[in-house]
Amino acid sequence: MTLMTFKTCMTSITKTQHQTSFFMRPVQMVDTKTQYQKIKSEVDGAVVQVMESSAFINGKAVHDFAADLSAYLGIKHVIPCANGTDALQIAMMALDLQPGDEVITPSFTYIATTEVIALLRLTPVFVEVDPGTFCMDPSELKKVITAKTKAIVPVHLYGQSAAMEEIMAIAKQHNLYVIEDNAQAIGCDYTFADGSKKKTGTIGHIGATSFYPSKNLGAFGDGGAIFTDEDALAGKLRMIANHGQSRRYYHDVVGCNSRLDSVQAAILGIKLKHLDKYNSARRAAAEYYDKAFANHPKIRTPFRAAYSNHVFHQYTLLIEDGSNSAQLRNGLNEYLAGHNIPSMIYYPVPGHRQKMFEHFNVSSVSMPVTDWLTERVISLPIHTELDDEQLQFITAKVLEFLKS
């Protein structure tokens, strides 16, 4: 028997028993290992070059990656740093905000966005999100602006852009800074009303991103970057990320030590060349899911805003079953786990209900959309390496659990 016939035979035997083949790769939330295997020689070569150069900190690889990323994004300055949380913190430090100044951000986001606001002794003001895009709702934003508001931090959640044109117009009207949290949406294009396009992260005064391994552009460790078109801001951001020094051993402001190391930069430089292809692969997986779940009475597939080409950092469903929604969603999460399919609840507790913000008296703030989403969201595996067999298996198990 040839290997081909053996494989076909095994597939048909096992498929009737388990609706999947013996050879199906285990389903993972993110499969960075298979992705690496496909670009192994490129990545290994770039890493060896750094090791041979011994320029581990601030080496050529860091400068090359920053230049390549700024060309890709169409922005003047890219300042690499240690992670996405630092990127947000450094961005806020560069704006000379004073303790008690208010910074508006969604409650429905990863904690890093809001945590740095409190860390800098600023006041987080939570704003509702749009129930379709899951991103900051511009009409709600207007309602929470006060005389103390100094900055707005929209988050391009799950890979879809916030309504940036409207947010920028509101910011301009009130003379506020905008820092985009682009950790989940690198490569996403925003289309303005006049048809022009910009990459998310380059629309506000500052953009911040993360290269955490599972991100659309992920390193093999931690990493982050800050973007701006403004020369003066770029100088400040660079200085703050480097102990506040203008030149070596002359420290003008209090800063921090936040560096992207050369090995990570070399890897990211290789992966950046594949980013558009990676984002297309995520979109293709999302389309497979969309089709499989279309018109299901208990599933709402992700809404795609016309202005954003969603890059699907997450593929997040809403499970709808009235007052039983959270229970059904949690049941699905457990059922999938029982079939070795990971799924995640991003995020089970919104910012305004986190203990760390109790002293801001935010738990009583009314956030009906955020609370509604928190009970219903479930993210399915999405990455660049999902194949049709895995997608078929995942969708079949979801539908099996939710059959009415």
Residues near ligand PLP (CB under 6 A):
83-85, 109-110, 112-113, 155, 181, 183-184, 210, 212, 222, 224
Strands annotated E in 136-264: 149-152, 177-181, 189-191, 197-199, 206-210, 224-228, 245-247, 250-251
In the complex with ligand PLP, which residue's Cβ is closer, 20 or 114?
Answer: 114
Backbone φ and ψ for 271, nearest 5 degrees, come out as: -65, -30
In the complex with ligand PLP, which residue's Cβ is closer, 30 or 326?
Answer: 30
**How far is residue 184's CA from residue 106's CA, in Å, rounded to a whole number?**
14
Name the minimum Å distance from CB 224 to ligand PLP. Answer: 5
Name the minimum Å distance from CB 218 to ligand PLP. Answer: 10
3-state SS class at 155: strand
Name the minimum Å distance from CB 379 to ligand PLP. Answer: 12
In the complex with ligand PLP, which residue's Cβ is closer, 20 or 80?
Answer: 80
3-state SS class at 322: coil
In the complex with ligand PLP, which residue's Cβ is closer, 212 or 360?
Answer: 212
| CA dist 129 → 106, 201, 261, 313 (Å) | 6, 19, 35, 18
Name the minimum Å distance from CB 404 to ligand PLP. Answer: 34
Name the minimum Å distance from CB 225 to ligand PLP. Answer: 10
| CA dist 358 → 72, 87, 88, 363, 387 (Å) | 41, 25, 22, 7, 44
Backbone φ and ψ for 52, nearest 5 degrees, come out as: -70, -30
Q: Using alpha carbons only, what angle is made at residue 41 by residues 40 and 42, rounded to the nearest 5 degrees? A: 95
- The contacts of residue 93 (CB under 8 Å, 6+ apart) are 120, 240, 255, 256
Of all residues in the shown chain, the one whose CB is closest to ligand PLP is 84
In the complex with ligand PLP, which residue's Cβ is closer, 224 or 255?
Answer: 224
Name the minimum Å distance from CB 79 to ligand PLP. Answer: 15
In the complex with ligand PLP, which residue's Cβ is closer, 109 or 379?
Answer: 109
Name the minimum Å distance from CB 27 to ligand PLP. Answer: 21
Q: Other C-beta atoms within 10 Å of 172: how many?
A: 10
In the complex with ligand PLP, which residue's Cβ is closer, 112 or 299?
Answer: 112
